[in-house]
Every structure is written in C-alpha cells, then in structure tokens.
Amino acid sequence: MESLSSLAGGFAVALTPNNLMWCLVGTTLGTAIGVLPGLGPALTIALLLPITFKVDPTAAFILFAGIYYGAMYGGSTTSILLNTPGESATIVTAMEGNRMARSGRAGAALATSAIGSFVAGTVGTMGITFLAPVVVEFALKFGPAEYFSLMVLAFVTVSAVLGASAVRGLAALFLGFYLGMIGIDGQTGQPRFTFGILELLDGVNVIVVAVGLFAVGETLYVASRRYAGKDEIIPLRGSLYMTREEWSRSWKPWLRGTALGFPIGAMPAGGAEIPTFLSYWVEKRFSRKPEEFGTVGAIEGVAGPEAANNASAAGVLVPMLTLGLPTSATAAIMLSAFQSYGINPGPLLFQTQPALVWGLIASLYIANVVLLVLNLPLIGLWVRILKIPAPLLYAGILVFATIGTYGISQSPVDLILLYVLGGIGFVMRRYDFPTAPVIIGMILGPLAETEFRRAMSINNGDWTVFFTQPLSAALLAIAVLALLGPRLWDLATRRQHRGPEHVPGDA
C-alpha cells in the first residue's frame, strides 16, 4: 500500500534523535498542561508558536502533536484523583474515575485510562493513516440538520446520569442550558443573560463550571461533614494496576469508545465532549455491573470515555491534514503555525509536504508509545496523592483550581463564578441533585440550539429537513430507539424472566 511506504518514510523522519527529543518534550509538557484545569493544548501551542522561528517545521509539529496527545492523557489524571477535570473532554472521566479512586481503585482507573488512551490513540492514528479520505468525505456530509439530530441522540445520554430522581436531574440539565446560553448569541450577535458584564459576553467556560461544581463543591461538602464521624480515609484496595477482571471489562469499552470518538472527532462540529457522553451512556447500558455506576465507580465508565476522548483527538487531525480545515481551537493554532512556515495547509498538503505530514503522523504513533511508557510507572506515584491528609489535599485542590481559572484570564469574574458554582455544587450535593446533567446541558444545549437555528435559516424555516435528510433521519431514529429500545426490550423479556444476553457493541 502506498500509505505504508509513506508511513515508513515518516518514521525515518520522526525517529531521528532530535525529533524524538521533541516528541518527549512535547508529551511531557502536554501531560503537565493537561493536568491543569483551564490551560489547554490550544493555548499552550499558541504560546509556543514563536518556536516556529527557531526550529524546522517537522520538529515543531512533532512537538505540537506531542503536546496535543499529552494533554489528552494528562487531563484524566486529575479528573480521577481530585475530581478536578483538566480538559472539558475529561469531565466524564471524573464521574466514574473519581468514584473508583474513592473506593480504592485509583490505580486501576488510571491504568485503564492510560492504556485505553493508548489503544484509542493508536487506532485513531491508524485511522488517519489509512482512512482519512473516506472519513473526511463522510464528515462533510454533516450539515446543521445532521448535527442537530446528533445532539438529540446525545441528549439521550442524560438518562444515564439523571440519578435517583428525574425531576432533580432535569432541573440540573436546565441549569446547564441557562449557563450555556450566557454570552453573545452566535446567530444574531445579541447578548443574553450577561447583566452588562463584558467578561460574560464570551460565555462561561465549561471547565470553570465543572471544576466549581465538582471540586469546589466537593470541598465545601466534605468540610461540612468533617466532624460527622465519617472521616474519609481512602483505602487502596487490591493490586496497583488492573486485575484480570478489570482487563476483561475494559477492552470492549476501549474499542467502542474509539469507534465513537474517531468519526465524531473528524466532524467539523463534532468535538471531543459528545463522543465521551455517548460512550458513557453506551457503557452503562452494556455493563454487566450497572450497579457500580455512580456508586463505587465502574471501570467501563472510565475506559470508554477516555478512549473516546483520545480517538476524537486523532479524528480532529483528519480534516486538518486532508483539507486544511481547522475544526478545533488546537487545530486552528497548529494551522497558523503551518502558515508561519509559509506552508499553506489545504487539500494538497499531502502532495506538497509529504515528509512533514508523514513525519507528523509517525510521530503520533511514537507519542502514544512514549505517553504510555511515561504514564504507567507514574501511576504508583500519582495514587500517593490520595494519601495526603485531607486538610492539605483539599487546600491544594482549591489552590490548584484557582491557578487554572485565574491564570489564563486573570479575571476575577471567572474566579467569582468558580466559587459561586462551588456553593451551588455544595447545595446540589447535599440535596441529592446530580451535577453531571449541568455539564451535559451546558455543552449540548447551545450546540443543539445553534445547529437547529442554522438548519432552519439555511432551509428557510422548513423543519421537515430533519426527517427528510437520510442521515439526519437515521440519527433521530437511533435516538428514539436508544430511548425506548431498552424499555421495549424489558417488556419483551419480562415474561422469560431471565435477563437478556449481552448485546454486542455498536460499530
């Protein structure tokens, strides 16, 4: 195959000691910034752009790719250990991962997320190598109508996180809608819910909300119960890494997560969050131990979303490399780095810059290996964080949350928001409201709104477009099935009394 020989050439480029060094620097730096809430790969690469004046393009892109993949790995670590997601794509990881950590399986959660990231990253990179043209053609078929239907499907996933009461879960979801709408309305340029505060015009950062509700809220909650006789000591149970059972529960979620993450990541408006929601929902449905979800923490709920998140990172690179389409902030910054070398990324990039492109792709494979090698031994070190006495641990978490929030924008507005949301998170926790629907509502609500309105404008108010476009109709049908299917299934099988056999995964 032609791609194979090109790839071999790419490895020859990427494996020079110099470029390997860049890969190592990039992955390390990426892991570090992924850990910090608020500081993402896009901003880091933007700040490192001046490097492009000093090193050759291949080295720079290998560095950037390392940062990008590294950040996806790093973001999960703090989600699992401290319930403080470093990236919006790892918010879902925090849900089960932190529960696992609390029940003594932090090592396994970290391991499944690292290995899952490796598997997904590698499969995703293979997707870039062999499937890029096909995937991108499929991705471009997605117009506003299809995106809206995809969001509708994604809303089904709320059902997996509603908790004990639909009323409280939905209240959380609507709070998320509200938070997501704050800022300038993208379609008409009008300010919504900004109370005249200029800083709010650009909207509320979902990371601030997640860290506020999860980490700050948790801190307040734990403090309020501190003397209730239930001092929290987190035990470490069993082996540091994964047990045989945990392996067998992880590998399918890794593959399913990858299958969701890669194509959705490749879609121009797909993003990394939606596949993690979908993956979480799928894993909860297919798990043999659904009772572990939301209680002691289910490993599938970490393995799937983590894989989805890393596969989507690979997916994002597909339109960037094949068409020169920057579909995420990180990709946009990387494109501007291309430009500062006088390289114009576009549909002809593979032809005009083969050494660079294939060197970059090869370095993605290497970055994945480097990250796995880097992360697995660190797990032993990371889990010790949980042994820090609670007062210092929580003090550290709050300082840490402040760094990410204040560090980037230096705006007290964000900090106030963070703390107010912490207060809301505390009340929600105490009165048994789930917090995850807030995040889902905040991300999906405005996205669905935008795509719906776009579709209506483009099609001149003809709402049948959602049903007449085959792809859109298919997605809506899947959504209906996903919502009603399990109930019908239950009805059908109730007579037989025996539960259904394990249903094999999608895709």
Partner 1 sequence: MIDRRQFLAAGAAASVLGFAGAGHAQSVDQLQLFVPAAPGGGWDQTARAIELVMRGEKLIGTAQITNVPGAGGAVGLPQFVGQWRNRPNAMMVAGMVMVGALIANKSPVKLAQTTPIARLTGEFLAVVVPAQSPFKTAKDMVDAMKADASKVPVAGGSAGGSDHILLGMIGKAAGVTPSKLNYIPYAGGGQALAALLGNQVAAGISGYGEFAEQVKAGKLRLLAISADKRQEGIDAPTLKESGVDVELFNWRGVFAPPGASEEQKKTLVSLVEKMAASSAWQEELKKRDWTGILLTGDAYAKFVAEENARIEAILKDLGLAA
Partner 2 sequence: MDRMRIALPEAFIGLGTLAFAGLVLWQTEQIPVSPLYAKVGPRVLPYITTGGIALLGALLLWRGLRGGWQPEEEKEVAPDWRAVAVLTVALVANVTLIGPLGFSLASTILFVLVAYAFGDRHVVRNAGIGLVLALLAYFGFARTLGVNIGAGFLENLLGG
Whether the Cβ atoms of residue 255 and residue 310 lie closer than 8 Å to each other: no
| Interaction partner, residue 171 (partner 2, partner 1, none; CB < 5-8 Å by kind) | partner 2
Whether the Cβ atoms of residue 472 and residue 149 lie closer than 8 Å to each other: yes
3-state secondary structure 184-229: ECCCCCCEECCCCCHHHHHCCCHHHHHHHHHHHHHHHHHHHCCCCC
Amino acid identity at 33: I
Burial class (CB in 10 A: 0-12, 13-18, 19+), 319: buried
| DSSP 3-state of 430 | helix
184 forms bridges with which residues in the sheet? 191
Residue selected from 6, 103, 159, 336 as contacting partner 1 according to rule CB under 8 A: 336
State which residue, 8 or 395, has the beta carbon closest to partner 2. 395
Q: Is 373 in the site for partner 1 (CB under 8 A)?
A: no
Residue selected from 223, 477, 488, 507 as contacting partner 2 according to rule CB under 8 A: 223
Q: Both tokens of residue 211?
A: 């860290």
Residues 136-175: x where in contact with partner 1 by CB under 8 A, - otherwise, as a string: ---xxxxxx-------------------------------
State which residue, 183 or 297, has the beta carbon closest to partner 1. 183
In the region spanning residues 78 to 137, those forming contacts with partner 1, defined by CB under 8 A, are: none
Q: Both tokens of residue 69?
A: 């993949």
In whole angstroms, give the CA distance from residue 456 to residue 478.
22
Amino acid identity at 350: F
| Interaction partner, residue 321 (partner 1, partner 2, none; CB < 5-8 Å by kind) | none
Residue selected from 5, 21, 56, 174 as contacting partner 2 according to rule CB under 8 A: 174
Establish how many alpha carbons lie within 13 A of residue 282's alpha carbon, considering only the half-sphere containing its beta carbon. Answer: 31
Q: Is 18 in the site for partner 1 (CB under 8 A)?
A: no
Whether the Cβ atoms of residue 86 and residue 75 lie closer than 8 Å to each other: yes
Q: Is 49 in the site for partner 1 (CB under 8 A)?
A: yes
Residues 380-419: x where in contact with partner 1 by CB under 8 A, - otherwise, as a string: -----------------------------xx---------
In the region spanning residues 33 to 62, those forming contacts with partner 2, defined by CB under 8 A, are: 33, 39, 44, 47-48
Q: Is 408 in the site for partner 2 (CB under 8 A)?
A: yes
Residue selected from 21, 197, 201, 416 as contacting partner 2 according to rule CB under 8 A: 416
Question: What phi-psi label fits residue 282: left (phi over 0), alpha (psi between -120 and 50 degrees) or beta?
Answer: alpha
Residue selected from 2, 17, 50, 494 as contacting partner 1 according to rule CB under 8 A: 50
In whole angstroms, give the CA distance from residue 385 to residue 159.
33
Q: Is 412 in the site for partner 2 (CB under 8 A)?
A: yes
Q: Is 472 in the site for partner 2 (CB under 8 A)?
A: no
Please report how close the Cβ of residue 416 comes to partner 2 at its closest, in angstroms: 6
Q: Is 233 in the site for partner 2 (CB under 8 A)?
A: no
In whole angstroms, give the CA distance from residue 330 to residue 68.
8
